[in-house]
Structures are given as structure tokens and as C-alpha cells.
Amino acid sequence: MKRMSGGDCSGGFIPVSRKSAAGTRDHCGLARRHPRNGHRSAVAGPTALSRTLDGPHGRCYTGRVRMILLNPKQHRRAYRDERSRELMLRTIDFFERKGKRRLKADDRARIWYADFLEFVKQEGIFATICTPAGYGAPGSRWDTWRICEFAEILAFYGLQYWYTWQVSVLGLGPIWMGRNEAVKRRAAQQLRDGGIFAFGLSEKEHGADVYATETTLFPTGEGTYTARGRKYYIGNANKAAMVSTFGKLAGTGEYVFFVADPTHEKYECVQNVVTSQNFVAEFALHDYPVTEADILAKGDEAWNAALNTVNIGKFNLGWASIGICSHAFYEAIDHAASRRLYGRYVTDFPHVKRMFVDAYARLVAMKLVALRAADYMRAASPDDRRFLLYNPVVKMKVTTQGEAVIDGLWDVIAAKGFEKDMYFEMATRDIRALPKLEGTVHVNIALIVKFIPSYFFNHAAYPPVARRDEAANDDFLFDQGPARGLGKIAFHDYGPVFAGYDLPNVALFVEQISAFRELMTAATPDEAQRRDLDFLMALGEIFVLVVYAQLVLENARPYAVDDGLVDQIFDCLVRDVSHFALELYGKPSTTPAQMDHCLRMIRKPVVDQARYERVWHDHVYALKGAYRMND
């Protein structure tokens, strides 16, 4: 079997043949996993996935499919360094050894994940992944390429494990962006000691409206202060080594970031505001003592640190959605393809096939987009800040597409999705959180629409951005500069990206783009519409799809996604544009001229039954039996 190249994301090829294996393979021909006792690893070795695919009528479909979805049992991604490979495989092994039964039992009992944090400490995982180069051991660096995969793996097994790491990323952001070297050194040591971190930004009465922050530092003389205030919905604030806390200076109203210690007597952990394994705290500072040694940033630097930390950390929301959907997809296809109703396999029903094909196409697109956006994050510089558009597209669109994927799969497996022993039961709950954290969808569309003029009409030449998988520290992410000037960011011309594909649904999508662009120029929203957030939400949804589609196409060939699957992805995107065009058409303030352009955007995808069947047999049905978590 040919080994995967660096262009593959997770698992390798699925070769399909009629040849069956005896003894060591199940009825699908999938190599049975080794019993856990007596084996060092709970994860299957590098043996290629090879099995017979018997269709519902005894048919067998042959072919070699390049996997883009994460498959922990066949994980052979190429890495630039051995330490990165080791971290990912050991993390997978931890969860496979833990097993699904215990993982689900801990979830139901809402047990604090001390075992996971002890594993992280012993293996030095957070210390390696979350410490920028120069502050940790060799191999430690802030490497967005491997951070994306780590986020995906954690969420694949449970959003709770992703969450404790994710809020640590947010808590570390202001520390690594600040000028306080002593705190940076302390944070690096705390990471080596297995510490987790927290991001004290939001408040109960104001949410993420940082303008209205009430937490205040009161000067007490000679560079000392007392902090008073409450923070709300702060993950890890019960056990964090340090809490990066946002506030204002009394008298001047100047913004400030400082670190607080949850073990201090003037720090009160009031409550856990959620019922889950996570601890999402409300905490209060009662004349908490602060010195200049605790301050990370003041004034504009503190404000920039707040927003720029979100640029880095909230990007991981998309990767959590991808991990959740991947695991749920394996469970759903296994269940449906093995179940017979009314004398037929469930996967024989046309509506079931359609829901699976849509879910798979959307999931592949999610991963292509998130990977491509990460390339732009790593390529960013003061002269190239295009990632500030692509990043919120991941936060907003990848997460909402995750909901669409789970909804489609749930419609297939129905009551099975409620069962307590299914990972899917967690997925249906957790996938909802990601688009809604701190108003992600609304906040990000409001941000995204600011880029519409530049995206369509302010083009500039940039050097090509290749796949950025190098083992390097992403220095710019902690030196992003002022969080303003979005309207001045120029973009490369999206036209050649779409012109590079001669596919019917891509061509149809381009016609929809043209109608949308003409709406923006010939029927330009007036001042009242530009202040109408309800109108802008519908407008923004269409624009987001244009950017999303561009990123899909830029990454399809680097990841060897075949043209048939690309066209199937655009079958979904054409329908999505039509949906939001109809929504925009129906808004109270939409003018007759704008309505005409909306009607031009409502199109039926080009139907190609042969393409559809290839995607079903070679990509979707081929995943039957491909992965099952250890019990």
C-alpha cells in the first residue's frame, strides 16, 4: 500500500477490492482492533485500511480514495518533526485507551477531567504546543499547523477536552502579546508543570462587550493597585495557573490587562455557571492586590491584545466542529449501512443517500476552508492581513456548517442519536455551542461585511500562499499591531481561482456571484440598510459563501480532492446561495431592484447522477466500518 504524502490530512487511502481476508477481519473486511491487554498502544498500527465493500445488493465498488477526514485508527499524517507526530499519536492513544464507555460515563457524571490534564502534564503536551519558541524546551513553538490538528483530535473525542485547552490558548494570548517578560517566563514554567490558563474578558451584564467593562484597578500608590469586579463565563477560572484579566484604570478609563491567581484569598470563585465537565466560572475580585509586575498591557496595547487574542484563539472553534462532525459521521454511516428496515438497508433509501452525501460534502468543505485559512494566518504580516477576513469566516461559517452536518446525520439515525452509549449523543449537544459562543455568528457577520468593498473592488498582487505546514513559530500572531484599519486591507482577485475549475456547479456559482456583485454596485444598500443588522445578516451570509467557496477551491487540488467531489460541494453551495438570496428578498427593507438581483441568485444546481453516485460509493459508503472507537 502506498504511504500517504504530506498532502493528506489524516488517514491515507481506502483501497477497495473484492478480496476478503480470513481470521483477522470482520464481515466488512476491516482489520479488527487488537485487544488492549498486552499491547503498548490502543491505536492500530500503520497497516493500511483494506476491506471488501459489499453494497446492499451484493455489488462491490472498487477504487482508491484519498482520505481527508481524521481517522485515528489509520493516522499517518506526514510531519516535519518527530515531536509533533509523537504528540498527536499519544493523544489519540490516551483516548482510545480510555475508551468510549468511560468517556461517556465521565461526561454523564460531569467529572472534572483530571486524568486528561495529568496526561497532558506528563507528556508535556500543552507546554510543547502552547509555548512560543524561545520560552520552552526544544520543539516548543506556536505552530498553527499542528495546533489545528490538535484541536481537531481533542474535539473528535469530546468538546470538553478541547475546551480546557482552548480557553488556555485564550488565556495565554495576552501574556505572549505583552511586554512583561517575567510573566512570560512564569507562564512557560507553569505550562511545563501542567498548568492551564483562563481569559477573564466577559462580564455578566455585558457579555463580550468589552467597551462596557466594569472591572477596575484602583491606584494605591507606588505602582500598586486593588482590583474590584466580577467576571462571568470564564473557562478554567477555577484551576488556572493564571487568569489574564481585562479591566480599566480608575480615573483615566484606560484599558488594562493583568494576571490574577485563583488561589489568592481575595479571588473568589463564585460558581460554575454550566452543568458539564467543564468549569465555566463566575469569579469576583475583592480588593485583589495588583502590582506593575502583574500587568501585561495598558491602553491601546491592552485593547489590541483583547481583540488579537480572539483572532488567534476563536479560530479553533471551526476545528472543534470538524472534529465533532468527523466522529459523528463514522458512527452514523456504520449504523445506517448495517441496519435493515422494510426489507432494505437504510442506505438504500434515496433520501438517506442524499443526506449522507450532503453531510460529507459539507464536512470536506469545512476542513478545506479551515486548512486554507490557517495558511493565510501563518503567511500574515503587517503588509498582508487577509487572514482577518478568512479567520471569522471559519469561526462563523465552519461552525454553522457543522450544525448542518449533524442535523443531516441525525435525520438519518433518528432515535439512535439519543442513546447514552453513542458519541453522537454528545455531538448533538456540543455542536450547538460553537456558533453561539459569545454571539459568534452575529458578531462575525457584522465584522465580515466590512470587507465586502475591498474583497470585490480593492485588489492587489500578493506572492502565492502555499500550504504552510513548516515546523516554525508563528511570530506575527503575537505581534499583530493595532486592531483597526480593516477597510484598508486589499485582497487578491478571486476571479482566477474560480476560472481554474471547469465544473458545471462552479460555473453556476460564478453566475450567482456576478448577480450578488451587481446588487452591490447597481442596487447598493442605502444608509438605512447599512445600519439595519437584520438586513446585513442576510447580505453577509451570501458574501460569506463567496469567500468560503474561494477557500474551498484554493485547497481542493493541494489536498487531491477529485473534481467530482468538488462539484458536489458546489451543488450544496449553489443551494445555500439560493436559500439566503430568498431570505434577503423577503427582508422588509429590500428594494424592488435588489429583489430582482436576489431572484437571479436563486438557481438549481446542475444534476449529474453519475457524479453523485461516484461520490456516494467512493467517498461516503466507503467509510462504513472505517473507524470505531475502542469500548
Question: Is the residue at 479 inside a domain?
Answer: no
Is residue 287 domain-shared with residue 340, that is, in the same domain? Answer: no
Residues 266 and 348 in one domain: no
pLDDT band (50, 70, 90) for residue 438: low
- 167-176 pLDDT, tens digit per residue, is 999 999 999 9
Please report whether residue 41 resides in a domain.
yes
Which residues form the domain of 150? 99-300
Q: What is the DSSP letter of 577?
A: H
Same structural domain for residues 37 and 179?
no
Residues in the chain: 631
Q: pLDDT over 90 for what percent of the chain?
A: 84
Q: Average pLDDT for residues 194-216, to the nearest whole number?
A: 93
Position 443 pLDDT exceeds 90 = no
Please check whether residues 5 and 115 belong to one and the same domain. no
Q: What angle do CA 609, 613, 616 make, to 5 degrees?
A: 140
Buried residues in 89-119 as b, exposed as e (16+ CB within 10 A): bebbbbbbebebeebbebbeeeebbeebbeb
pLDDT digits (tens, 9 = 90+) for 298-310: 999 999 999 999 9
The mean pLDDT value of the chain amounts to: 90
With respect to residue 128, please indicate whether it lies within any of the assigned structural domains.
Answer: yes
Q: How many domains does the chain have?
A: 3
Alpha carbon of 528 to those of 453, 521, 545: distances in Å? 18, 16, 24
Confidence (pLDDT) at 483: 84
Alpha-carbon distance values, 371 to 363, 466, 552 (Å):
12, 11, 9
Show which of 241, 271, 300 is a domain's final residue: 300
The pairing of beta strand 242-249 with beta strand 197-200 = parallel
Give 483-537 pLDDT, tens digit per residue: 888 989 999 999 999 999 999 999 999 999 999 999 999 999 999 999 999 999 9
Query: In this structure, are 269 and 325 located in the same domain?
Result: no
pLDDT confidence of residue 59: 32
In a domain? residue 631: no
CA distance 90 to 44: 12
Contacts of 568 (CB under 8 A, 6+ apart): 357, 361, 505, 611, 612, 615
- Domain match, 276 and 379 both: no
Say what the pLDDT of residue 441 is: 82
Q: Pick left, alpha or beta for residue 250 (phi over 0 → left; psi -120 to 50 → alpha; otherwise beta).
A: beta
Task: Count the helices and strands in the chain (H runs, E runs).
Answer: 23, 12
The 8-class DSSP code of residue 51 comes to B
Amino acid at 467: R
How would residue 210 be classed by pLDDT, with cut points 50, 70 and 90? confident
Q: Is residue 546 part of a domain?
A: yes
Q: How confident is the model at residue 437 (pLDDT cuts 50, 70, 90)?
A: confident
Same domain? 143 vs 21: no
109: Cβ contacts below 8 Å, ≥ 6 apart: none
Query: Per the domain annotation, does 80 fall within a domain?
Result: no
Predicted pLDDT of residue 45: 39
Q: Is the pLDDT of residue 289 over 60?
A: yes
Mean pLDDT is lowest, of 61-65, 362-366, 463-467, for 61-65
Same domain? For 421 and 552 the reply is yes
Residue at grid coordinates 480514495: 65
Cell, residue 147: 495546533
The pTM of this model reads 0.90
Rounded to the nearest 10°, the torsion over CA 422, 424, 427, 428 is: -110
Under the banding of pLDDT at 50, 70 and 90, the label for residue 439 is low
Name beta bridge partners: 230. Answer: 284
d(CA 178, CA 189): 17
Is residue 2 pLDDT above 90, yes or no? no
- Give a yes or no: residue 31 inside a domain: yes
Q: What per-residue confidence (pLDDT) applies to 209?
A: 82
Question: Phi-psi bin for 570: left (phi > 0), alpha (psi -120 to 50), beta?
Answer: alpha
Of the residues 73, 107, 134, which one is the last residue of a structural domain? 73
The predicted-structure confidence for 131-190, as pLDDT tens digits, reads as follows 999 999 999 999 999 999 999 999 999 999 999 999 999 999 999 999 999 999 999 999
Q: What is the mean pLDDT of residues 551-566?
A: 97
Domain boundary among 300, 327, 345: 300
- Examine the domain organization and report whether 368 and 228 are in the same domain: no
Residue 610: count of CB within 10 angstroms of its CB? 8
CB proximity list for 279: less than 8 A, separation 6 or greater: 112, 235, 236, 237, 238, 239, 272
**Closest residue by Cα to residue 159 from 442, 444, 428:** 428
Q: What is the mean pLDDT of residues 327-353?
A: 96
Q: What is the pLDDT of residue 8?
A: 42
What's 450's DSSP letter?
A: G
Residue of 264, 141, 267, 144 whose CA lies nearest to 200: 267
Which residues, at least 6 apart from 206, have a Cβ–Cβ distance to it below 8 Å? 212, 213, 214
Task: Read off the pLDDT of residues 59-104 as tens digits, 9 standing for 90 and up.
Answer: 333 345 567 999 999 998 888 999 999 999 999 999 999 999 999 9
CATH classification of the domain holding 221: 2.40.110.10
Do 453 and 569 lie in a common domain?
A: yes
- From CA 360, how far away is CA 405, in angstroms rounded? 8
Residue 49's pLDDT band (cuts 50, 70, 90): very low
Q: What number is the average pLDDT over the span 13-22?
A: 35
Residue 37 has pLDDT above 80, yes or no: no
Hey, is 272 helix, strand or coil? strand
| pLDDT higher than threshold 50 for residue 369 | yes
187 lies in the same domain as 273? yes
pLDDT for position 7: 40
Q: For the chain, what is the largest distance between any 2 Cα atoms, rounded to a whole number of angstroms?
A: 82
Kind of pairing between the strands at 340-341 and 344-345: antiparallel
Give the DSSP H/E element, type plus range, for residue 445.
helix 440-448
| Residues 525, 389 share a domain | yes
Assigned domain for 25 exists: yes
According to DSSP H, which parts of 130-257 are helical? Answer: 144-157, 159-177, 181-192
CA distance 462 to 380: 11
